[in-house]
């Protein structure tokens, strides 16, 4: 099973605010997120789910949390989950609640038997899953966020980590009337010898 991280970051590695907002509006990048993840299981942290405001439709939502009830942060209303730990909502979004990223990845592999799972944030989920990940899809937003209460995820905290990844594709999106910032989407894959280690490790 391939594990793929999908994230948008500012120049100073901000992914959102502690209040749950994403400090830019790029409909084209949201479409990229929707189109890329459509139909695949998505692993999501509790605060990101509450910031999205609802489960992601047309995907199996694997929610990482110690809680069982969730609130739409903006509207301050409960996110309606009909069953306790796993189920399907009226809108047809499937979900399961698990306690760790490892449990989430195992669920995707062993229960859903998917070929591909997306890691959809936030910070702790990205950081804990990077060791299992085969692909990084990073939207680099051409903005520096100055706010204080921000959430930071640096995919490449060291040269060692950066050297594990090679760029396989990059698409630049200049700003336009609906997307007021330039951004680039870069696809990285983990270098092959590290992928082999990953598979061997998981066969034991
Ligand atoms: N730019 C992007 O691409 C992007 C994507 C997604 C989200 N975001 C933004 O990121 C921000 C939210 O990120 P965040 O890092 O604050 O929160 P988060 O990771 O979404 O959620 C944190 C919660 O998830 C659970 N959790 C997270 N990591 C865990 C781990 N390793 N093991 C067990 N449980 C874990 C815990 O839930 P419990 O407390 O319930 O136990 C924790 O309190 C928001 O601003 C959101 O808009 C940005």
CATH number, domain of 18, equals 3.40.430.10
Q: Do the domain assignments include residue 37? A: yes
**Which token pair is 55?**
């489960």
33 in a structural domain: yes
Residue 79 domain flag: no
Each of the 204 residues of the chain gets a pLDDT tens digit; together they read: 999 999 999 999 999 999 999 999 999 999 999 999 999 999 999 999 999 999 999 999 999 999 999 999 999 999 988 888 999 988 889 999 999 999 999 999 999 999 999 999 999 999 999 988 999 999 999 999 998 899 999 999 999 999 999 999 999 999 999 999 999 999 999 986 666 544 444 443
The Cα–Cα gap between 111 and 17 comes to 33
**Nearest CA, atom 33, ligand 1:** 100
Residue numbers of the domain that contains 112: 2-42+101-203
Domain count within the chain: 1
DSSP-derived 3-state class of residue 113 = coil
- Cβ atoms of 140 and 186 within 8 Å: the answer is yes
| Distance from residue 52's CA to the centre of ligand 1 (Å) | 11
121, 127, 141, best to mutate for ligand 1 pocket (most atoms within 8 Å of CB): 121
The DSSP element (H or E) to which 61 belongs, if any, is strand 60-64
> Is there a domain that residue 52 lies in?
no
Contact status, residue 89 vs residue 70, Cβ threshold 8 Å: no
Name the closest-CA residue to atom 13, ligand 1: 122
Do residues 120 and 56 touch, judged by C-beta distance below 8 A? yes
CA atoms of 141 and 190, how far apart (whole Å) = 22
Q: Which residues of 33-65 are buried (b: 16+ CB within 10 A; e: fewer)?
A: beeebeebbbbbbbbbbbbbebbbeebbbbbbb
Nearest CA to ligand 1 atom 14: 122
């Amino acid at each position: 099973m391939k594990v793929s991280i999908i994230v948008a970051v500012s120049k100073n590695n901000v992914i959102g605010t502690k209040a749950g907002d994403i400090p830019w509006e790029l409909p084209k990048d949201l479409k990229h997120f929707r189109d890329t993840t459509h139909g695949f299981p998505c692993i999501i942290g509790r605060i990101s789910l509450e910031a999205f405001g609802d489960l992601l439709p047309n995907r199996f939502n694997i929610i990482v949390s110690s809680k069982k009830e969730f609130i739409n942060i903006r509207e301050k209303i409960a996110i309606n989950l009909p069953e306790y730990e796993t189920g399907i909502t009226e809108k047809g979004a499937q979900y399961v609640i698990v306690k760790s990223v490892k449990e989430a990845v195992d669920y995707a592999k062993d229960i859903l038997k998917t070929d591909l799972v997306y890691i959809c944030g936030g910070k702790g989920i990205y950081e804990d899953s990077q060791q299992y990940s085969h692909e990084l899809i990073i939207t680099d937003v051409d903005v520096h966020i100055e706010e204080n209460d921000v959430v930071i995820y640096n995919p490449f905290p060291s040269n060692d980590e950066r050297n594990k990844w090679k760029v396989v594709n990059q698409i630049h999106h200049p700003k336009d009337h609906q997307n007021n910032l330039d951004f680039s989407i870069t696809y990285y894959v983990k270098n092959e010898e590290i992928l082999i280690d990953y598979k061997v490790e998981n066969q034991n």
